Amino acid sequence: MRDAEFFRRWLVTAASAVEREADRLTELDSPIGDADHGSNLLRGFTSVVRELAAERPEVPGAVLQLAGRTLISTVGGASGPLYGTLLRRTGKELGTAAEVSDDDLRQALYAGVAAVAQLGGAAPGDKTMLDALVPGVAALGTSYRAAAEAAENGALATVPMQARKGRASYLGERSIGHQDPGATSSALLLAALAEAAEGES
């Protein structure tokens, strides 16, 4: 069973990964985006860590909802409402339980990813974060490590895709050949989840 502390550790680990990879995310966002993905997420996740420390939410659902709300109000780019919706919706699904099972988390993440797809009007293959999130969450049924690897492979698989959503879609065929920054940060998020889970079991 996973408690609030596990979810806090997931997000703190994700924040460290974002900090470590911020320059690379921004680099990936330069040829096809507006070159702010790393700095936007860094601002957002730094605020998440601060808010979690200040408010100390006591149940998993509240941890994720606070994190989601913080991302929505601090990121400043499209990844704010998208990741914010992912975490808030997942947190809402987890409700007020003090501890949740891995299966509860998997089901809740499914709902979170579906909410992201609905908000952005995107589907796998559009060269977005969904290309990492959808295979990643699907592989959660196997293990957290499998989910992280599936998400990483999903991010790599965006390279030959043509973007159909967001700023990159304006480039048409010129978006081909670049890895999607959103799929890359989504892979970081699932890698952080695996790291948090491995630290515990």
Partner 1 sequence: MSGPLVGIVLVSHSAQVAESVAELARGLAAGGPVAPLAAAGGTAEGGLGTSADLIVAAALSVDQGAGVALLADLGSSVLTVKTLLAEEELPAGACLVDAPFVEGAVSALVTASAGAPLEAVAASAAEAYAYRKA
With binding defined as CB under 8 A, does residue 184 bind partner 1? no
Nearest to 37 by CA among 79, 81, 82: 79
Distance CA 118, CA 170 (A): 21
Q: Which of 162, 167, 171, 176 binds partner 1 (CB under 8 A)?
A: 167
Nearest to 128 by CA among 186, 177, 73: 186
With binding defined as CB under 8 A, does residue 120 bind partner 1? yes
Are 38 and 26 spatial neighbours (Cβ–Cβ below 8 Å)?
yes
With binding defined as CB under 8 A, does residue 119 bind partner 1? yes
Token reading at 193: 């989840």
With binding defined as CB under 8 A, does residue 145 bind partner 1? no
With binding defined as CB under 8 A, does residue 73 bind partner 1? yes
Nearest to 86 by CA among 51, 36, 122: 122
With binding defined as CB under 8 A, does residue 186 bind partner 1? no
Nearer to partner 1, 62 or 157 (CB): 62
In the numeric block, the tokens 């993905």 are attached to 37
| Residue 46 vs residues 57, 72, 86: alpha-carbon distances, Å | 17, 13, 18
With binding defined as CB under 8 A, does residue 91 bind partner 1? no
With binding defined as CB under 8 A, does residue 61 bind partner 1? no
Count of residues near partner 1 by CB under 8 A: 20
Q: Which of 60, 61, 84, 136 binds partner 1 (CB under 8 A)?
A: 84
Which positions lie near partner 1, rule CB under 8 A? 34, 36, 40, 69, 72-73, 76-82, 84-85, 88, 119-120, 166-167
